[in-house]
Amino acid sequence: MSQNRTKWPVQGGAIAFQPGWFSGHSSAFLYFNLGMGNNPANYSFVMQNGLNIVGPSKEPWPGTFCLPQVPLPAGLQVNVGDNATIQIIETALHGAALYNCVDITFAEPEEVEEVNEQNCFNSTQLSSNLIFTTEALASDSAMANVPLVAMLTMAATAMFALI
């Protein structure tokens, strides 16, 4: 918990960060969670389904990654002035994990810095994949009951700070 809190919109907002700053992570899984209160007991509110981020090598990645609109967890009610902490977990393929948190205070959107291409952008050398599970990705009945993990590729970037 810190005395320094970032204003974040009550309807959700941008998260920008710098992943892969240390060597050894050519790709990693990212998780975005929320803990409520001044000193959260847990971070059990999932804000964004997992992402797989892919860097150019196992060397430090010189880039930024921004999600311009991360919604609040479904069913969560917050008020202007409520405090919370956003937690970002980056797990490497070999099992190491990096934890980063930012303390926030929920605010009206007009009280929060506007998200634009100068403060929320994705570096071209990084990419990401959405991670999800489905029963089938084809209409073939032989595939209907085969669980598959699918990844959708999208352009990405990184910089560890909230906007």
* Residue (of 30, 101, 91, 34) closest to 66 by Cα position: 30
Higher pLDDT, residue 2 or 4 = 4
pLDDT at 83: 97
Q: Which of 26-30, 41-45, 91-95, 113-117 has the lowest mean pLDDT?
A: 91-95
- pLDDT confidence of 147, banded at 50, 70, 90? very low
> E strands, 5-125, where?
6-9, 13-17, 27-36, 45-54, 65-70, 83-92, 97-107
Domain ranges for the chain: 6-127+156-162
**Running DSSP on this structure, what letter comes out for residue 109?**
G
Q: What is the pLDDT of residue 63?
A: 76
pLDDT value of residue 52: 86
Cα angle 59, 48, 74 (rounded to 5 degrees) comes to 170
CB 94 within 8 A of CB 159: no
**Given pLDDT bands bounded at 50, 70 and 90, which one contains residue 154?**
very low
| Mean pLDDT along residues 131-155 | 48
- C-beta separation of 78 from 106 below 8 A: yes
Give CATH for domain 6-127+156-162: 2.60.40
Looking at residue 55, its pLDDT comes to 77
Percent of the chain with pLDDT strictly greater than 70: 77
